[in-house]
Structure 1
Amino acid sequence: MDQSTYIIHNGTVLTSHRMIPNGGILVVNGLIEEVFEGAGSYPKDIHKIDAGGQYISPGFIDIHVHGGGDSDFMDGTVEDYLTIANTHASYGTTGMYPTTLSGKWEDFINALDVYEESDEQNTAGAEFLGLHVEGPYLAMSQKGAQDPRYIRNPDPEEYEFIIREYPFVKRWSIAPELPGAMEFGAFMRKHGVLPAIAHTDAVYEDVVRAHEVGYTLATHFYSAMSTVTRRNAFRYAGSIEATYLLDAMDVEIIGDGIHLPAPLLQYILKVKGTDRTALITDAMRAAGMPEGPSVLGTKGDGLEVIVEGGVAKLLDRSSFAGSVATMDRTVRTIMKKANVTLVEAVKMASLVPARIMKIDHQKGSITPKKDADIILFDQDIRVSKTIVKGKVVYDG
């Protein structure tokens, strides 16, 4: 029996705008061929996956993730990359952008050097869609859990080398008020890389200038971002207010319900809306692991942290240190705390991140001719099956 062609049936299909009860999809050679209602008209011997009344959903796309399963991308081995991909696939992630952080230059380069080999060997986990660099060009005053030993201003020699040698870098997050940030943004856009604002003490005017040269995304919105300040008695709007006022600025939010409480989640969606808001995990190595001591960054040179109450914190509890969320948790959280429908929540975890990263022609929704990145889950968003480009990579 040819299992490159099959149907998933007896479920509720989630499109980008509605539910199709008693629906299904036809998959052919890793692509979605058709979406149907009812039993459909297919040969009796076609391979079938019975959804058992569950939801048939587009897979989740995590555009900001550092680790999971006790591995971090900065550990810089193929084994660590694959562990993270496998860990998050079991929670519904079908595509991800491995994310680095501020650390030793040699650790950073090593993490990039193993990307392509990891991608080639990744046959049983979430797909690697490109790499996201976070830092080291950040505001020291908004460093959060980023290691201050490595934070510095943009260096053209550094970043031009990276983009030239590692074309799979698709996004880079920095503070837009730093000297050289405008030149950095223009360079990234010229080379097809998304520049995003992050860990910033920028005022409104800084963000407007950055937006005009190509910065269109706010990294983990609210986390490590400036708000209204006073300078010589005058008030200045910060990066948060600027992001709200710039209609074309997208935001990504850590959907663990801890980094952002319910009122802020509701406020963000009231202003930016679900079409401009992507759910992310920002997960570090402790995602999918028991709570307790952990490390942010490389095991040999990272920061010691403690995981408690569903979030990672610095040891002095002065700052969060990345989340331990998985994408299924972000969908549950946004539904419960921001009164978002299931269809809208799934869109924020699939089609919106795909659009932000300009891959929505290929991924992000259950649409004919797109990749068959499909997940099955129940009413509590508990994932039972994850399919990447037509191949089952998790079957719980």
Structure 2
Amino acid sequence: AFAAITQENARRGVTALLATVATAPIPHLVECMNFCRGWMHEPRGGARILGVHLESPYINPAYKGALNPQHIRTLDDGTPDILLQHDDVLKIMVVAPELPGALELIARLDQLGIIPAAGHSAAKDEDVLAAMKCGLRHVTHLWSAMSGTVREGPWRKPGLLEAALVFEGLTVEMIADSQHIPPTLMKLAYKCIGADRLCAISDATGGAGLPQGARFMMGGMEYEVRDGVGMKLDHTALAGSATLLAQMIPVLTNVVGIPLTEAIRMVTLTPARVLGVQNRTGSLAPGKDADLAIFDVDFNAWRTMIGGQWLD
């Protein structure tokens, strides 16, 4: 599967990616990280894997989205120690910052050089501020599986969504397939956050590239491709995108109205800076990896170069 994923992404113009893993049994997560470690250290064709992005078990069940609730865990069961042993490959871990023990985990992640990301969360803005003091600096897929403003009596309490839009110390992800988020909300995110802190991401799952109605597995659950996205079989929640990253650039430019240079930055240099790899990739400059994709006017990939080698 890794060969198919990396080769198809490269064929579509993606030169590097994070292996993103949904909630699953802890042994499965460990197995995946061990496999990624071996993959990363051997020359292979296809897009390079820069590490693992874990949509971890430590999320709020009320905001599980399409993730398998059977694998959600509490932070006091000892499993964080198991996962953090893999800090050499684990690059981003999603955590709900309002959970008991979350601030301690966020501080540990920050100390290990792993990016703590808020997501699948019922956090209020005060929870986000407390987490930022412990090292939180990133927010996963804006609007998807996160809290917004609620009323507590007569008072309005902003949630994770509003915090992501206004707190300048955070970088933010946005799924740019025009299905997860309608154009008006994508425009709002761009106007509030800007291309230097807003990453456009694919959130692509096993349904990417499959036809309408095709079924795929994720985290022990079955999903189907419907209207260009992954979806739970009961159609109550989206389950990732069926669109790869390069095909989202026309959405950013033609639908949202973002200038092409800034749209490109949102899928290249900005995510590279989030990961701390901007000195080797994310833009073309002397001394950086020779990663290059050439597209036609409709952003179909024509040729892709990875590490100075053109792919067949």
- Per the TM alignment, residue 268 of structure 1 is displaced from its structure 2 partner at its CA by 0.4
Q: Does 1:89 align with 2:7?
A: no
- Per the TM alignment, residue 142 of structure 1 is displaced from its structure 2 partner at its CA by 0.5
- Show structure 2 runs of 5+ residues with no match: none
* CA deviation map 1:36-70 (0-9, x unaligned): xxxxxxxxxxxxxxxxxxxxxxxxxxxxxxxxxxx
Letter in 2 for 1:388: I
Instruction: With the length of structure 1 as denominator, give the TM-score of the two structures.
Output: 0.76
> Any residues of structure 2 matched to 1:1-396 within 5 Å, and which?
80-121=1-42, 123-155=44-76, 157-298=78-219, 302-393=220-311, 395=312
- Aligned to 2:214, the other structure's residue is in SS state strand
State the structure with more CA Rg.
1
Q: Distance in 2 between matches of 1:120 and 1:217?
A: 27
Aligned to 1:26: none
**Aligned structure 1 segments of 4 or more residues deviating by more than 4 angstroms:** none
2:87–2:112 Cα contact (<8 Å) kept: no
Query: Higher helix fraction: Structure 1 or Structure 2?
Result: 2
- Per the TM alignment, residue 383 of structure 1 is displaced from its structure 2 partner at its CA by 0.3
- Per the TM alignment, residue 205 of structure 1 is displaced from its structure 2 partner at its CA by 0.3
2:183–2:255 Cα contact (<8 Å) kept: yes
1:296–1:321 Cα contact (<8 Å) kept: no
Instruction: With the length of structure 2 as denominator, give the TM-score of the two structures.
Output: 0.96
Letter in 1 for 2:4: T
* CA deviation map 1:127-159 (0-9, x unaligned): 011111112100111000111111122247322
Name whichever of 114-123 and 345-354 sits farther off: 114-123
* CA deviation map 1:188-213 (0-9, x unaligned): 01010000001010111001111111
Aligned to 1:19: none
1:220–1:253 Cα contact (<8 Å) kept: yes
2:207–2:224 Cα contact (<8 Å) kept: no
- Per the TM alignment, residue 174 of structure 1 is displaced from its structure 2 partner at its CA by 1.1
- Aligned to 1:266, the other structure's residue is in SS state helix
- Aligned to 1:130, the other structure's residue is in SS state strand
- Per the TM alignment, residue 286 of structure 1 is displaced from its structure 2 partner at its CA by 1.4
- Aligned to 1:274, the other structure's residue is in SS state coil
- Aligned to 2:57, the other structure's residue is in SS state coil
Q: Distance in 2 between matches of 1:152 and 1:248?
A: 28
* CA deviation map 1:321-352 (0-9, x unaligned): 11111011111111112111221111111000
Q: Distance in 2 between matches of 1:177 and 1:354?
A: 28
2:118–2:136 Cα contact (<8 Å) kept: yes
Greater relative contact order, per chain length (Cα 8 Å cut-off, separation 6+) = 1
The change in CA–CA distance for 1:122 and 1:291 in structure 2 (over 3 A counts) is farther
Q: Distance in 2 between matches of 1:370 and 1:156?
A: 42
- Show structure 1 runs of 5+ residues with no match: 1-79
Say how many residue pairs are matched: 312
Q: Distance in 1 between matches of 2:155 and 2:258?
A: 38
Letter in 2 for 1:329: Q
- Per the TM alignment, residue 289 of structure 1 is displaced from its structure 2 partner at its CA by 2.1
Q: Distance in 2 between matches of 1:155 and 1:391?
A: 47
Q: Distance in 2 between matches of 1:210 and 1:116?
A: 29
The percent of aligned pairs where both chains have the same amino acid is 32
- Per the TM alignment, residue 312 of structure 1 is displaced from its structure 2 partner at its CA by 1.2
